[in-house]
């Protein structure tokens, strides 16, 4: 029985400087995959390369020329669209540049990478696209969650990733190329800082609350990619045990029963 890992040789991971992206690079490298890691922080990328042997490229995902040349530089079997940005505030108070930045990185770059890389996967008869969305793309959050997470523009871009993932499966019907959407909740990354600090405006949401680690998401990606080739893990919504999305209540670690309105 073949698995994704036995068929796949090369991966491209965006947002690889830290967090989920870096954890995913480590996980895929551990499976013997040649990983091309894209990010903005050259020092972190260099450290990640020294640790894992991955190939790195410091890149601005808004640079379509760079993305086009990159797509033509290798035959990628796995594409992990992870890079993302966040902003606070409602759409009523967001600056134009913030809106453009969120759309460019969270959605436009993903669309370009898919159109540039996936046709070659179809031609070669193998491939796996992993899109990192967010529960923000599926649920409307109130004031508390918006302050903690980000703006409606962020939610809208992540909803776009969800829609892209669904439609891409339709477009790829009849091919062996698989598409997985990973939709995380609270993860201890640069967006959700799992620490309390006097200058951290998210402290009241993070301090005593349960969060996932980047490795948890990387393991979920590995599960989907490594699944038997007859099996497509279409979507995984991954949240901490004590994060219940629908009611917007988040239980503290010290409160094993009941819940606390954040």
Domain boundaries, the chain: 4-250
Q: What is the pTM of this model?
A: 0.85
pLDDT value at position 95?
Answer: 86
Report the 3 state secondary structure along 24-67: HHHHHHHCCCEEEEEECCHHHHHHHHHHHCCEEEECCCCCHHHH
pLDDT value at position 211?
Answer: 83
> What is the band of 185 on the pLDDT scale with cuts at 50, 70, 90?
confident
pLDDT value at position 59?
Answer: 93
Average pLDDT taken over every residue of the chain: 85
Contact in structure between 162 and 183 (CB atoms under 8 Å): yes
pLDDT value at position 13?
Answer: 98
pLDDT tens, residue by residue, 74-93: 999 999 999 988 877 777 77
> What is the band of 147 on the pLDDT scale with cuts at 50, 70, 90?
very low
CATH for the stretch 4-250: 3.40.50.720
pLDDT tens, residue by residue, 224-261: 999 999 999 999 999 888 776 665 555 566 655 554 44
Percent of the chain, pLDDT > 70?
A: 80
pLDDT value at position 90?
Answer: 75
Distance CA 137, CA 121 (A): 27
What number of CA atoms fall less than 13 Å from residue 35's CA on the CB side? 30
pLDDT tens, residue by residue, 44-84: 999 999 999 999 999 999 999 999 999 999 999 999 999 98
pLDDT value at position 262?
Answer: 39
Residue 139 a catalytic site member = no
């Amino acid at each position: 029985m073949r698995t994704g890992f036995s068929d796949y040789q090369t991966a491209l991971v965006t947002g690889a400087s830290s967090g989920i992206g870096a954890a995913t690079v480590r996980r895929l490298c551990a499976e013997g995959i040649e990983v091309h890691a894209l990010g903005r922080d050259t020092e972190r990328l260099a450290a990640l390369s020294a640790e894992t042997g991955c190939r790195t490229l410091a890149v601005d995902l808004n640079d379509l020329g760079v993305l086009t040349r990159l797509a033509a530089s290798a035959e990628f079997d796995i594409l992990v669209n992870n890079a993302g940005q966040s902003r606070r505030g409602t759409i009523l108070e967001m600056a134009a540049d913030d809106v453009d930045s969120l759309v460019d990185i969270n959605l436009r770059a993903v669309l370009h990478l898919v159109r540039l890389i996936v046709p070659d996967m179809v031609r070669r008869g193998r491939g796996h696209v992993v899109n990192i969305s967010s529960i923000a793309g599926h649920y409307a959050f109130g004031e508390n969650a918006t302050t903690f997470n980000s703006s409606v523009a962020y939610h809208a871009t992540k909803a776009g990733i969800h829609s892209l993932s669904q439609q891409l499966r339709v477009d790829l019907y009849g091919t062996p190329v698989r598409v997985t959407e990973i939709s995380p909740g609270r993860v201890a990354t640069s967006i959700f800082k799992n620490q309390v600090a006097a200058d951290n405006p998210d402290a009241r949401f993070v301090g005593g609350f349960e969060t996932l680690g980047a490795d948890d998401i990387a393991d979920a990606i590995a599960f989907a990619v490594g699944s038997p080739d007859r099996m497509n893990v279409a979507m995984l919504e991954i949240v901490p045990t004590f994060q219940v999305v629908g009611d917007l209540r988040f239980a503290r670690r010290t409160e094993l029963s009941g819940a606390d309105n954040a």
